[in-house]
Amino acid sequence: MNGSVPGGPGGEAIPSCAPGQQERRELLHVDCASHVYPDGTRGIHELCFRVYEGEIVALCGPNGAGKSTLIEHLNGLLQPSSGRVTVLGKETGGKGGAELWRFVGVVFQRSDDQLFAPTVLDDVMFGPLNLGLPPDQATRRARDALAAVGAPDLEAKMPAYLSGGQKRLVAIAGILAMDPLIIAFDEPTSDLDPVHGAVIEGIIRDLRDRRGKSVVLATHDLDLASRIADRVCLVKGGSLIADGSPREIFYNQDLLKAAGLLEPAPVRFFRDLCREYGIETTDRPLTLEEISRSPVFSRYGEGSGRKKLE
């Protein structure tokens, strides 16, 4: 991918905010930002990160790497102690920066932090009303957003009594109703069962493919990132140590090890299989489906169809 900067195997931070070379429009730029919490803990350190139009970019790193701290800088909830964050060229801490939450919506890891109104509909309407829309339009936006996440039947419920998966859907609807350019998800599937996880994954894909949104996905679930991300950034010790395509990053074992991560399960499976059978290949499948279509196995599909791997 253009503009990718794979980090060194030592996991050293990418040293500077080199100009982005992507053909897509740059929407957001975290320019060498650091954040020190009041107790002196370093959340992020001289971190450089960009978001482009219409992409899903995954921020991958182990617990404590700085993913959530970075996410909270994207809509100005946190301000950098040094460096700056710009959205559409405007600094989040500068004049007019207070308005930038309109362009960047954040779905927090704990949905309880986001839901507070007496009913689901009130909750999802809150954003559009805050944008200044009249109540009838805000209601329409909220209902459309609840339909988009497949939860129109929840509108009269009390948020406190929803299941974890339902709360996450409502929290996403609340952000969708504001129609931001960028939606950042902090560990969106970490506490969900596989069925709800798959629903959220489908919603994230749809945001990019059908609504043209940019999505930032903070996750330590590399299997999820390998399925849906267009670009992967590895975060370690508060800094970005790599920025590249999923195939570049997830097939670089040294880099993943340096970041404190394990390769996605399909990558590990494919690599082990090739090693076991002595297969040399430059193919880099990321999903089980891609593995099943790998040229490595094409000779087994010749002729009448199914043949056993001997």
The correct pick among 7, 61, 76, 165 for binding ligand ADP (CB under 6 A) is 61
Query: Smallest distance, Å, CB 244 to ligand ADP?
Result: 19
User: Considering the rule CB under 6 A, would residue 69 count as an interface residue with ligand ADP?
Assistant: yes
User: Considering the rule CB under 6 A, would residue 41 count as an interface residue with ligand ADP?
Assistant: yes
Q: Which does 128 bind (CB under 5 to 8 A by kind): ligand ADP, Mg ion, none?
A: none
User: Considering the rule CB under 6 A, would residue 300 count as an interface residue with ligand ADP?
Assistant: no
Query: Smallest distance, Å, CB 87 to ligand ADP?
Result: 20
The correct pick among 2, 15, 16, 37 for binding ligand ADP (CB under 6 A) is 37
Phi/psi at 236 (nearest 5 deg)? -145, 130
Q: Which does 65 bind (CB under 5 to 8 A by kind): ligand ADP, Mg ion, none?
A: ligand ADP
Q: Which residues of 18-29 are buried (b: 16+ CB within 10 A; e: fewer)?
A: eebeeebebbbb
Determine the Cα angle at 231 with ends 67 and 55, to 5°.
Answer: 95
Query: Smallest distance, Å, CB 33 to ligand ADP?
Result: 13
- Which residue in 307, 251, 266, 287 sits closest to 297, CA to CA? 307
Q: Which does 39 bind (CB under 5 to 8 A by kind): ligand ADP, Mg ion, none?
A: ligand ADP
C-beta atoms surrounding 193 within 10 Å: 11
User: Considering the rule CB under 6 A, would residue 30 count as an interface residue with ligand ADP?
Assistant: no
| Nearer to ligand ADP among residue 45 and residue 141 (C-beta) | 45
The residue whose two tokens read 């209601």 is 139
Q: Which does 66 bind (CB under 5 to 8 A by kind): ligand ADP, Mg ion, none?
A: ligand ADP
Please count the residues of this chain forming the interface with ligand ADP, following the rule CB under 6 A.
Answer: 12
Query: Smallest distance, Å, CB 71 to Mg ion?
Result: 8
User: According to CB under 6 A, which residues from 166 to 225 bind ligand ADP?
Assistant: none
First vs last C-alpha separation in the chain = 37
User: According to CB under 5 A, which residues from 259 to 298 bind Mg ion?
Assistant: none
Instruction: State the Cα–Cα distance between residues 89 and 42, nearest whole angstrom.
Output: 26
Query: Smallest distance, Å, CB 7 to ligand ADP?
Result: 17
Instruction: State the Cα–Cα distance between residues 256 and 240, nearest whole angstrom.
Output: 12
Instruction: State the Cα–Cα distance between residues 273 and 262, nearest whole angstrom.
Output: 17
User: Considering the rule CB under 6 A, would residue 77 count as an interface residue with ligand ADP?
Assistant: no
User: Considering the rule CB under 6 A, would residue 80 count as an interface residue with ligand ADP?
Assistant: no
Q: Which does 266 bind (CB under 5 to 8 A by kind): ligand ADP, Mg ion, none?
A: none
The correct pick among 68, 139, 214, 245 for binding Mg ion (CB under 5 A) is 68
Residues that bind ligand ADP (CB under 6 A): 37, 39, 41, 43, 61, 63-69
